[in-house]
Structure 1
Amino acid sequence: MKVMQVSPQRTTSEIKNFVLSPYFGDGLRITFGVLLPSLILFKFNLLNVGITISLGAVCASVPDTPGPILHRRNAMLISTSLVSVVSLLIGLGNWSPYILGILIVGFSFLFSMFYVYGARAASVGTAALLVMTLGIGDVRPILDIFLYSLSILAGGLWYTALSLSLYEIMPYRLAQQSLGDSIVEVARFMRIKAGFYGDQISYEDNFNKLIEAQIVVNEKQDAVREMLFKSREIVRESTQEGRFLLLVFVDMVDLFEQIMSTFYNYKNLHEQFDEAGILKKYEAILLQLAHQLEDTGYALKVGTIPHISPNLPRKIQELKQAISDLENGPDAEKYSPISIGALKNIEVNIENIFVRIKKIKGSFKVRKQRLLGKNELETSPFITHQDYDVKLFKENLSLSSQIFRHSMRVGIVMLLGFIIAQSYPFLHSNWILLTIMVIMKPGFSLTKERNYHRLIGTVAGAVVGMLILKWVEDKQALFAILLFCMLGAYSFQRKYYIVSVLFMTPFILILYDFLGMGSRAILIERVYDTLIGGGIAFIANYFLLPNWEHEKLRSVLTEMLSANLNYYRQVSGLYFGNAYERTPYKMARKDVFVKSANLASAFQRMFSEPKSKQNSIKEVHKFSVLNHLLSSYIATLVLYAKEHFDSIPDLEELKLIAENTEHLLEEAIKVLEHDEQVEPENIRLIKIRHQYDFEEEGAILIPEQFINIQKVALDIYKISEKIKV
């Protein structure tokens, strides 16, 4: 197996990418918004009030994630109002442990149910649970309770005003960073694809990396799509920057499809061409194209103009000549026409990728000249709308709802953690419940991962924190380290949770040292509370109303097949006289990308569950691989059809193969949905008898692509029969 080495250049690129990402921008904004109230009020000997206002700012920052500014504003205002009310009720409830217990159960259930309204609403619920857990046990006079609640409200409003002000100053900054991030991830996807042409490659390992990269690309593109298509200024394209961002995004999605289509039988290619050494040329050019793409992403983040490498056209011409030398050289009889055709098709695809990258880079110059015209893309069909109707909440009040079961589990476990903490004086309700709240997720695998990250991050961070306090005595140096840890904690919280906790623990220890509350005792107590909270959460997720991936496997698999079937119908129809319709086709393509990522994510989560719950794990993995092959083969067909639409010959005989492919996929869906058994004689391959003579060289692979897709559809049907859903 080929050992991958990380070069210093790649490490520098990763650091550069992170510093220019929305994550680091979030960290800077939250750090400033949280720290400033405490610093100002510290000068007036009102540090306790300042810390409370900072807590309100923290709560408002939780739902302030990338997206349309209208959604962010509404979420921050709702969160600010909600946390101030919750802090008031918890403050009053602290007078009675029984009332407090009832509030803990009620709030834990209610705010966990916010998951039914999507990720942003769930983050509003998380903010409410955060202020609830931190307020437990803080008994105050009634006037102080009201002042505490007002301070929370003030902190939330302050942070909301800060975030909205920054948006007004830089309205396109977040969209630029997010789009730049998605371009960098597409470049990473291309690098992994290039690996298939390298020496001693492990096909399975590289394919698994490819699937993981595809998940990330889809997540990034979905985030950018929502940000662009739901922002009025950009949708209207009233500014050059709005037109530019929309144009680049549309071109990038098309480019990703182009990269997806370069999927062939790499094992056969290596067996035939390794000795000739031509596959290394493919790898080198793809890596260079990936670098060009990555450079484009960085340029978008920084605000510079990227430049195309002048030697790329020469490299592509050298590749074309190398293919010609193989085809017409003395050893030409060693290579089949289909294999040579595959090399030509990949080379043509590389040329098209290069042209698309040139076009995207050219958009930067046109933007600077302010010559961009309006894009005719219809955006409304691509926008998903979240329903906030109370009816949706009521419909999920059933044990058949995974979110309801999760909410019940959180409510019960939070009460249990509170009772345990109250039973032992050395335990702290706040930390135990905070650990439970942060760790517990609707699925077992996510809870398991969070638990692991929380424990490792806390222990490692505690050790680092104690070493810092032992060796650093200068208060100014300690404050600088506190700032650094604070920035790290908030920057990594959405990307690498374990790193965020690693920074958060020293930050808290140093903060307590500044407040004169001790540090070593806090360290030991924090580790104890984390262990107890994590242990309770993990056990509960396994035994108490658990959610296993195999329970929703049927819908994930059928949705994937239905998306690929619709995609295939859109594409195959182009070869049989159908007109190209831009919006339906792009909708079908988007659906395939989304459903592919959902399937791959479901498989990853299932793989981390207990062995006894991994129903048909091998079959699901093979199903995922086959569907990726299917969508890649379809992408190859569509790209040829779009580029040579006027020269497509009469392919009427292939229509029978196309219809049989649709039939096989339809039958596979029936098997997964209803466990129906189909008559064996209806499941077969249709063979081609006619030999096509194509004027266009690349078209020689069209019949083979239709045949390959039919074979993959049959394999999907067979594997669907074996999956236990």
Structure 2
Amino acid sequence: MASPIPQLKQFLYSHYFLGGLRQSIGVLLPVIILGRFFGHYDIGVIASMGATCVAIIDQPGGPRRYRNNEMLGGIALGTLTVALTGLASSEPLLLVLCVPLLCFLYSMFSVFGRRGGLIGFAALLLMTLTMRFPMQPQEVLAHTLYSFFGGLSYYLFSTLFRRLLWYREERQTLAVALFATAQYMEARAQFYDPGSDLDDCYRRLINLQSDMTDKHQAARDMVLRELPRGHGRGDYHRRALLTIFLNMVSILDSLVATYTDYTVLRRQVADSDFMVFARDGLHKLSLDIGRIAMNVSRSSSTRRRASVKAEIRAMEYELEHYRRQGMPEKDPETYALLVQVLRRLRNLNRIVDHMAGQTHRASQNLPVDQYLNKSLSRFLSREDVRLGMLTSNLKLKSSHFRYAARVSIASMIALGVGSLSSHFEAQLGLVSALTAHSYWIILTILVIMKPGFATTRQRNGWRLFGTVLGCAAAFVLFKLTDNREIYLAAMLLAYLLGNSLVQLNFMLSALFNTIFVILSFQFLSTGGSFIIGERLVDTLIGCAIAMAASYLLPSWEANAMTSLARAALAANQEFWRTGLEFARLSRLHNQGVKERQDSAPAQTDAQRDQLDLELMEADTAWQVANKNVHIAFSNFASAFYRMMDEPVSRQRNVSLLNNLLIQNHVLASQISAAVPLLANLTEVPPGIAQSLQAIGALIQDQDAEPPASIETEGDLAMLAYPIRQMSKAAQLIRQDMRGLEYEAGPQLPTEHKSAAGQSTA
């Protein structure tokens, strides 16, 4: 971790812990009130199950009104699910029909994205907890009502909790994104260490960038949906958060604004002190961002920072030394790289200085109207919910359909295993066998099984190990005491940690959730350590079924890699197009400013206003395209590394995809570097213009030949390097994409396959 802040301290001040605290109190409140004060622990646990369904849906992200609607929808679906499962629980045939059908239906909710998947999982969890014992029809109504009021009580509690701590979640979500930025910066610093392996550095950087992109998007959704209004309570805090967020985005843009050829640097200046100072400077800045993140999360000011002035001065001295030795003439590309690294460190230091100041006193000069523009809605993540999305995926080719079918088949197997237990325990009837064992097996399956094979296998191991440890801890607790007050306190602590750690450490989350569930059922029926043994055996069976079912109608990551590579290229194409348009309008704007200064304006006031509007729109479009490039690259990289965790026989085009991953990263980075330089030109020289046209044609899969030489006089020398890198990346991307399309075969139109075949021939 880049920051010296201990990870435990980060966790306690994170929105993960705050969310876990909110969910834990909201879920266990019925148990505490009904059990502690009225002695009805059984009713309290049932109500808590209904609250659990809503708590799973109550996750950060998305507009507040959408989250409220999602929770209310979860209450409705959960109540219906409890009623159906309760009525079927006493009839074996109905249970065998109802459970797989509900598993298929709610697993299909994954077509609606992450939020839809949470709603489906919450309903399935409630189904599983409801089928733990057979109920008579008269019991079903009471059970359903208890569950409904439990869900409603959580909704009301969560709404009140958010009103009381109305800005805490925003701060802590932003702090998590800042910590991820600090980690990313620390990973970039390792590239300047000649002793580190470049391939290992790149793998770590890409993984961190993927994780950082998700956390930046969560912060973006949170901050941009709670913009300063220019008046009212909390406007000061919103200004501070918005300014810090914009500074964080500027840091990311500065870090990825150009692709530095570290191979060239290590070959030419590996033993230079310049590399050491660059590494140390980035390391210090990453520490500062970690401190700022901690202070943002706890509403404190940052008064002490580590200075990088010494590193910057030393790098300036080294650069001057190289200039005197004639490096600009002998090796202009390496010299340009060194200048670029120095400028980037200066810029980062300035941004971090400004960010630290915002934690002490928020800027009051922030142009609020600019950020109230409706165009900002394009920066926010959206997940459409349409019935057509569900019906259009009811086909075998759909990965969502295949996943839902796997879950449904696994649930049927789990029910069959439960019925077989009646042959080994004569005292159990068929209904009791189905409910006494199957619900825990199905619960294990639902928690473990995910659409991707690699994720399922990974969670299988974590879940199994966490459950074993949780059962052992519960066994020790039962042996030490039978005090229900202690059990209740342990339930609260276990549920708090289980909810808080679910996104950070699945194994520890499984450990604490196992303790929570075992203690919950201890209030409903006394089984002691025998129940623990049953749960452990059922978990082993559930893990085995989940792993075996993963091979049924599997959705291997390799099948999606071609479409993800296309999406990454399409995002770069849009980034390129919007960047060139922004640069063109910027040149027109700068030209108009110069003409006004020379008292020879060629534009009317109306034309200038129109140009300003177009420039603002182009700037927004380019920034949105930049965000989309990061998201597309993150999706591509995540899927690639998941594929690498799958069986070797299921991995395809590894070298092609790895090269596409790198070259798309190079292309996006150099576009970020080149567009501001193009925007500041008076006019684009012919050689550079031809190169830009060739790059645009190449990424559109058209024949083009970049010119052999381009203008490098004066300030154009800084533009020459990114243009050459973009030309090389565009050529390699075109070549690799054609190879990938050829391998994709029947998925492509005939003309694409023939073109791909000609290129490889």
| TM superposition score normalised by structure 2 | 0.86
Retained in 2: the 8 A contact 1:575–1:651? no
Return the alpha-carbon distance in structure 1 between the equivalents of residues 270 and 554 of structure 2.
Answer: 50
1:673 equivalent in structure 2: none
- Match among 356, 360, 368 for residue 361 of structure 1: 356
2:609 equivalent in structure 1: none
Deviation, structure 1 residue 33 = 1.6
1:184 equivalent in structure 2: 179
1:664 equivalent in structure 2: 698
Identity %: 27
Please say if 1:34 is aligned against 2:55. Answer: no
Residue identity matched to 2:393: N
Retained in 2: the 8 A contact 1:308–1:358? no
Deviation, structure 1 residue 171 = 1.8
1:399 equivalent in structure 2: 396
- Any stretches of 5+ residues in structure 1 without a counterpart? 1-5, 668-677
Return the alpha-carbon distance in structure 2 between the equivalents of residues 648 and 471 of structure 1.
Answer: 80
Return the alpha-carbon distance in structure 2 between the equivalents of residues 282 and 649 of structure 1.
Answer: 34
Deviation, structure 1 residue 192 = 0.1
Structure 2 SS opposite 1:103: helix
Deviation, structure 1 residue 23 = 0.9
Structure 2 SS opposite 1:559: helix
2:566 equivalent in structure 1: 558
1:652 equivalent in structure 2: 686
Deviation, structure 1 residue 710 = 0.4
Return the alpha-carbon distance in structure 1 between the equivalents of residues 115 and 39 of structure 2.
Answer: 37
- For residues 302-330 of structure 1, what are the alpha-carbon distances to aligned partners after superposition, in whole Å with 9 as ceiling and x for unaligned? 1112236363334322321222123326x
Distance verdict in 2 for CA 1:237–1:559, change over 3 Å: farther
Retained in 1: the 8 A contact 2:42–2:524? no
Retained in 2: the 8 A contact 1:31–1:487? yes
Distance verdict in 2 for CA 1:456–1:474, change over 3 Å: same
Return the alpha-carbon distance in structure 1 between the equivalents of residues 42 and 524 of structure 2.
Answer: 10
- Match among 255, 262, 268 for residue 264 of structure 2: 268
- For residues 136-176 of structure 1, what are the alpha-carbon distances to aligned partners after superposition, in whole Å with 9 as ceiling and x for unaligned? 15223333221111111111111111111111112222111
Retained in 1: the 8 A contact 2:100–2:411? yes
Structure 1 SS opposite 2:503: coil
RMSD: 2.6
Alignment of 1:410-559 (within 5 A): 410-425=407-422, 428-470=437-479, 480-511=489-520, 517-542=526-551, 544-559=552-567
| TM superposition score normalised by structure 1 | 0.90
Residue identity matched to 2:350: V
Residue identity matched to 1:584: A
- For residues 491-520 of structure 1, what are the alpha-carbon distances to aligned partners after superposition, in whole Å with 9 as ceiling and x for unaligned? 112322111002222334455556662343
Deviation, structure 1 residue 432 = 0.6
Deviation, structure 1 residue 433 = 0.8
- Match among 625, 637, 646 for residue 600 of structure 1: 637
Alignment of 1:24-423 (within 5 A): 24-42=17-35, 43-67=37-61, 68-231=63-226, 239-307=235-303, 309=305, 311-328=307-324, 336-367=331-362, 372-377=366-371, 378-423=375-420
Retained in 1: the 8 A contact 2:685–2:711? no
- For residues 75-130 of structure 1, what are the alpha-carbon distances to aligned partners after superposition, in whole Å with 9 as ceiling and x for unaligned? 11111122122111211111211111111122111111111222112211111111
Retained in 1: the 8 A contact 2:277–2:312? no
Deviation, structure 1 residue 344 = 1.2
- For residues 453-491 of structure 1, what are the alpha-carbon distances to aligned partners after superposition, in whole Å with 9 as ceiling and x for unaligned? 211211232233334444577776665544432221111
Deviation, structure 1 residue 376 = 0.8
Residue identity matched to 2:99: I
Residue identity matched to 2:454: S
Return the alpha-carbon distance in structure 2 between the equivalents of residues 666 and 491 of structure 1.
Answer: 45
Deviation, structure 1 residue 362 = 3.1
Return the alpha-carbon distance in structure 1 between the equivalents of residues 350 and 685 of structure 2.
Answer: 29
Return the alpha-carbon distance in structure 1 between the equivalents of residues 723 and 269 of structure 2.
Answer: 24
Return the alpha-carbon distance in structure 2 between the equivalents of residues 431 and 235 of structure 1.
Answer: 49
Retained in 1: the 8 A contact 2:87–2:140? yes
Deviates more, 1:320-329 or 1:498-507: 320-329
Deviates more, 1:389-398 or 1:214-223: 389-398
- For residues 257-282 of structure 1, what are the alpha-carbon distances to aligned partners after superposition, in whole Å with 9 as ceiling and x for unaligned? 11113531212212222323220100
Please say if 1:718 is aligned against 2:735. Answer: yes
Distance verdict in 2 for CA 1:443–1:431, change over 3 Å: same
Structure 1 SS opposite 2:370: coil
Q: Between Structure 1 and Structure 2, how many residues are aligned?
A: 694
Return the alpha-carbon distance in structure 2 between the equivalents of residues 56 and 573 of structure 1.
Answer: 53
Deviation, structure 1 residue 348 = 0.6
Structure 2 SS opposite 1:376: helix
Deviation, structure 1 residue 220 = 0.9
Structure 2 SS opposite 1:65: coil
2:655 equivalent in structure 1: 618
